[in-house]
């Protein structure tokens, strides 16, 4: 924002040419404002960059494949849950989460009763698929068995391994 005054003349020239190019559009002032706001909006640009990165690198392909696998092995009314701080799988599947706490980061311990509510939701609703993020760069999987001890017990008793590919270990509820 500090540098914008130095670009007043070039921006004025660009605005004049853009207005001429957009002269046939009904709402040209809105289009012109959007044209100038988008590149200057760091948050929007960062979000679009992050989205493009997920879509075009291997993580995006793995998320798409894991989401497709979840959808193929569940019914439309089934729920799923992703354990841990990685909640990326939800936009890549058509299934709802078994708990409102889809992201269980370190802050969840500061919400009174949240851990108990999460565990209660998962243990009572028994999701069709339980996903555990397995990417090595996360480095936070060591707390999972302790924090989710009742869920791990439920997995051992009532679930079977569906897949350990695509960055997730997926457990499917036994028939």
17, 34: one domain = yes
Alpha helices in the chain (DSSP H): 8-21, 28-40, 42-56, 58-72, 114-125, 144-147, 149-158
- Are residues 145 and 123 both part of a single domain? yes
Torsion of CA 156, 160, 165, 166, to 10 degrees: -90
Find all residues with CB under 8 Å of 173, minimum gap 6, and list them. Answer: 126, 127, 128, 129, 158, 159
Q: Which residues of the chain have pLDDT under 50?
A: 137, 139
Q: How far apart (Å, rounded) are the C-alpha atoms in residues 84 and 144? A: 7
Looking at residue 158, what is its pLDDT?
96
Same domain, 86 and 134: yes
Domain containing 22 equals: 4-55
Q: What pLDDT was estimated at residue 85?
A: 75
pLDDT score recorded for residue 139: 45
Q: Is residue 169 domain-shared with residue 88, that is, in the same domain?
A: yes
Are 83 and 161 found together in one domain? yes
Number of domains observed in the structure of the chain: 2
């Amino acid at each position: 924002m500090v540098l914008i005054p130095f670009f007043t003349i070039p921006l004025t020239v660009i605005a004049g040419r853009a207005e001429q190019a957009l002269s046939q559009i009904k709402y040209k002032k809105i289009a012109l404002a959007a044209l100038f706001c988008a590149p200057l909006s760091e948050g929007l640009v960062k979000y679009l960059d992050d989205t493009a990165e997920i879509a075009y690198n291997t993580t995006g392909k793995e998320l798409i494949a894991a989401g497709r696998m979840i959808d193929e092995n569940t019914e439309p009314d089934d729920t799923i849950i992703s354990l841990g701080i990685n909640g990326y799988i939800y936009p890549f599947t058509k299934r709802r989460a078994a708990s409102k706490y889809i992201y269980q980061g370190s802050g969840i311990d500061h919400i009174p009763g949240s851990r108990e509510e999460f565990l209660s939701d998962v243990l009572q609703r028994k999701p069709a698929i339980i996903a555990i993020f397995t990417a090595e760069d996360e480095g936070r999987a060591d707390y999972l068995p302790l924090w989710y001890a009742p869920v791990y017990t439920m997995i051992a008793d009532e679930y079977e391994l569906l897949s350990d590919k695509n960055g997730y270990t997926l457990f499917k509820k036994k028939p």
